[in-house]
Amino acid sequence: MSASAKAGRDRVAVVILNWNGVRFLREYLPSVVKHTPREIADVIVADNGSTDESLEVLREEFPDVRRMEFDVNHGFAEGYNIAIRELADSYKYAVLLNSDVKVDDDWLTELYRFMQAHPEVGALQPKLLSLTNPSEFEYAGAMGGFLDRNGYPYCRGRIFDTVEADTGQYDTPMEVEWASGAALMVDTRLYVELGGLDKEFFAHMEEIDLCWRIRLAGRQVWAIPTAHVYHLGGGSLPASNPKKTYLNFRNNLLMLYKNLPRKGRGAKLFYRRLLDTLAWAKFVATANFKNASAIVGAHRDFAKMRSLYGNPDARENLIAWNPNILIEYFAKSRKRFSEIRNHAGK
**pTM, to two decimals:** 0.94
Angle in degrees, CA 185, 188, 193, rounded to 5: 125
Looking at the structure, do residues 196 and 275 belong to the same domain, yes or no?
no
Among the three residues 199, 231, 263, which one is the final residue of a domain in this structure? Answer: 231
Pure H helices in the chain: 3-9, 22-35, 54-61, 75-87, 109-117, 188-193, 206-216, 242-259, 265-285, 289-305, 325-326
| Residue 199 in domain | yes
169 and 246 both lie in a single domain: no
CA dist., res. 107 & res. 229, Å (int): 7
Burial call 141-158: b when 16+ CB within 10 Å, e when fewer = bbbbbbbbbbbbbbbbbb
DSSP-derived pairing of the beta strands 121-130 and 66-70: unpaired
For residue 324, tell me if it sits in a domain. yes
Q: What DSSP designation does 105 have?
A: S
The parent domain of residue 75 ranges over: 3-231
187: helix, strand or coil: strand
Residues 73 and 157 in one domain: yes
- 237 in any annotated domain: no
For residues 223 and 290, state if they share a domain.
Answer: no
pLDDT at 233: 83
Number of folded domains in the chain? 2
Q: What is the CATH number of the domain that holds 32?
A: 3.90.550.10
- Same domain membership, residue 59 and residue 201: yes
The residues near 43 (Cβ < 8 Å, ≥ 6 apart) are 14, 16, 29, 32, 33, 36, 65, 66
- Three-state DSSP class for residue 178: strand
Q: CB–CB of 147/208 below 8 Å?
A: yes
Domain-embedded: residue 236: no
Whether 309 is covered by a domain: the verdict is yes
Count CA within 13 A, CB hemisphere, residue 254: 30
Crossing angle for the helix pair 242-259 and 289-305, to the nearest 10 degrees: 30
Residue 191 CA to residue 45 CA, distance in Å, equals 19
What pLDDT, on a 0 to 100 scale, did the predictor assign at position 2? 35
Number of Cβ within 10 Å of residue 263's Cβ equals: 10
Is the same domain home to 131 and 43? yes
Q: How would you write the pLDDT of the chain (346 residues) with one tens digit per residue?
A: 333 334 457 999 999 999 999 999 999 999 999 999 999 999 999 999 999 999 999 999 999 999 999 999 998 899 999 999 999 999 999 999 999 999 999 999 999 999 999 999 999 999 999 999 999 999 999 999 999 999 999 999 999 999 999 999 999 999 999 999 999 999 999 999 999 999 999 888 999 999 999 999 999 999 999 999 999 986 455 667 999 999 999 999 999 999 999 989 999 999 999 999 999 999 999 999 999 999 999 999 999 999 999 876 778 999 999 999 999 999 999 999 999 966 644 4
Half-sphere exposure of 333 (CA within 13 A, CB side): 0
**Predicted pLDDT at 270:** 97
Claim to verify: residue 198 and residue 276 sit in the same structural domain: no
In three-state secondary structure terms, 184 is: strand
State whether the Cα torsion 66-71-75-78 is positive or negative.
Answer: negative
326 in the same domain as 191: no
The answer to whether residue 316 is domain-embedded is yes
252 and 208 in one domain? no
Tell me, yes or no, whether 162 and 287 share the same domain. Answer: no
Is residue 208 included in any domain, yes or no?
yes
Contacts of 159 (CB under 8 A, 6+ apart): 325, 328, 329, 335, 336, 337
One domain for residues 23 and 115: yes
Give 60's contacts (C-beta < 8 A, 6+ positions apart).
Answer: none
Of 202, 231, 260, the residue that ends a domain is 231
Domain annotation covers residue 79: yes
Q: Do residue 338 and residue 213 come from a single domain?
A: no
In angstroms, the CA 223 to CA 209 distance is 17
Which of 197, 231, 265 represents a domain boundary (last residue)? 231
Residue 237 pLDDT? 59
Per-residue pLDDT, 7: 47
What pLDDT, on the 0 to 100 scale, is given for residue 345?
A: 45
